[in-house]
Amino acid sequence: MASRRCAASATDNLGCMDADKVVVVIGAGPGVGLAVARRFGKAGHRAVLLGRDQAEVDELVGQLADEGITAAGGPIDLMDPGDVRRAVDQAGRGTEGSMCSTSTRAGGVTRMCWS
What are 61-113's pLDDT values in tens digits? 999 999 999 999 888 888 888 887 888 777 766 655 566 665 555 555 556 66
CA 87 from centre of chain: 11
Percent above pLDDT 90 for the chain: 21
| pLDDT score for 10 | 44
Contacts of 106 (CB under 8 A, 6+ apart): none
CA nearest to 12, candidates 41, 34, 46, 43: 43
pTM here is 0.71
Q: How confident is the model at residue 7 (pLDDT cuts 50, 70, 90)?
A: very low
DSSP 8-state secondary structure symbol assigned to residue 101: E
**What pLDDT band is residue 5 in, cutting at 50, 70 and 90?**
very low
Which of residues 24 and 115 earns the better pLDDT score?
24
φ, ψ (nearest 5 deg) of residue 94 = 80, 10
Look at residue 34 in the predicted model and tell me its pLDDT: 92
What is the spatial distance between Cα 107 and Cα 99, in angstroms, rounded to a whole number?
24
pLDDT computed for residue 2 by the predictor: 45
Give the H/E segment covering residue 32: helix 32-42
Domain spans in the chain, listed from the N-terminal domain onward:
17-106
Check residues 34 and 27 and name the one with the higher pLDDT.
Answer: 34
Q: How many CA atoms lie less than 13 Å away from 44 in the CB half-sphere? A: 6
17-106: in CATH 3.40.50.300: no
Mean pLDDT estimate for the chain: 75
Strand, helix or coil at 6?
strand
